[in-house]
Structure 1
């Protein structure tokens, strides 16, 4: 099955093929180009890159441009690579060095954001997680992705990000599905403490915390979680990757989704009642 990531890199592959076929000293076959490129290059690799089944690194793009006699093409190739990599960030690549760099990258986005709009349908958002809850979530994700373990560094990075909750001038519009309050991605005692944490932050002037109850009438289904940074970028999480979308139409669509879900959400004392109901159901041992 063709993935979104493969579809995004196919135009880069087409451009690579164009360079091979328009070589100034005559078009090259895949085998001939691989021979020019030297160690580590095969006809199969050339084919995979041209068909979007593999992604070239920056130095590989430079080598390709030089081997095809068109070194000036490198800048355009690199721009294409950066263009789609900044939007589709596969977990395999992001987690190659562990979770901490991922947490630090998202912290940089938080630091330059005044209004952060969050929807979560299955977890308590990272901005409001306790250290124990975050530890279990990150450990499970690392297990799934088979990524390096740097859990404690990642937990500290995530918790530090919550300092923004206490900075004047920021606004966090956080909303979640009631199911997130019951998801046992951690031991019941940890979930109980997490729910206590949620009730404790209701009323902060920087935080608008809403919960869409199971009983609410919905105008749209509670789909994937997403985070909107001011009105410039939306980040959507899926199993294979995070999508970082910068175009105005996408940002507007996700803000419209959030506003539609908000019509079904409980706030203030009503939200506290929904959280308290979940807290009573946890019954930790």
Structure 2
């Protein structure tokens, strides 16, 4: 089977990664070693996807600054297509200060949103969307002012093409109008979220009520990411929600940044490559587990070999 082509919409950010001791409190100053910058947000899924053998295309916006140039150079070097990324004159790349505590396996993000002219849904972007085997959308893209309208048009185009749409709500949906979130949920084929994020994509609902609501909006599958505990996949069967839990891998946690993004990439690629739901869940768990054993994300997301090393015991590989 040919490598799947996944188009990722928006959420192109640069992470400034600082290894710290959390929490950070007033007057308790810290000296650190090893600060670095790496592409973050959707870039983690893009890089992970490319390393797993998928054809990845980024559509979105960066700034005409050193961070934007570096981000695009890194994505190109990883094999991703960036022809759909806009860099308007005098624009600024979105930056995220990532404070990570390896001893606790915790992190905090502080965002400085980019600025620039709105990106347009051009004929070139339409061509890229039309060539996709799947569309990947993170909730932040609905909030990112420069690309939000373009993202909506791209989703509408993919839906008209019957292209599968994977939607990961993420932690920023509180900043997105609820009607826009609900619209995106209704357009999605597969929903991915942590347990904490489920209320954000279900208009405040939790538990079975949330699941029933999301399936009623048309989702064919809900994938609940549960960190070290693995994941739960829910599908409708004869009008009823059927769920199955898949345990995670037992690994040493160094840093959780980017784990969910790597999980998303693994699940999408496995499913688009024709694997069973059971195998997709295990393969996605392996991507997340391989990632948490390393500090940071971006170019530090796992290699294909590192993921396959975990999967070997399951008789699977990418």
TM-score > 0.5 by shorter chain: no
Structure with greater Cα Rg: 1
**Length-normalised TM-score, structure 1:** 0.30
Structure with the bigger percentage of strand = 2
Structure with the bigger percentage of helix = 1
